[in-house]
A and B are shown apart, each in its own frame.
Chain A
Amino acid sequence: LAKTTQPISMDSYEGQEVNITCSHNNIATNDYITWYQQFPSQGPRFIIQGYKTKVTNEVASLFIPADRKSSTLSLPRVSLSDTAVYYCLVGDTGRRALTFGSGTRLQVQP
Chain B
Amino acid sequence: GAVVSQHPSRVICKSGTSVKIECRSLDFQATTMFWYRQFPKQSLMLMATSNEGSKATYEQGVEKDKFLINHASLTLSTLTVTSAHPEDSSFYICSAATGEDEKLFFGSGTQLSVL
Contacts and interface: CB of A to CB of B under 8 A. Distances in A.
A42 B43 CA distance: 12
B43 A100 contact: yes
Interface residues of A, number: 22
Interface string B76-115: 0000000000000001010101110011111111010000
B103 A34 contact: yes
Contacts of A36: 106
Contacts, number: 59
B62 to A, nearest CB: 12
Contacts of B107: 43
Interface size range on B against A: 20 to 34
B108 to A, nearest CB: 5
A43 B43 contact: no
Interface of A: 34, 36, 41-46, 49, 87, 92-103
Interface of B: 1, 4, 6, 32, 34, 36, 43-46, 49, 91, 93, 95, 97-99, 102-109, 111
16 contacts: A42-B109, A43-B6, A43-B107, A43-B109, A44-B106, A46-B103, A46-B105, A92-B102, A93-B102, A93-B103, A94-B32, A94-B99, A94-B102, A97-B34, A99-B46, A100-B36
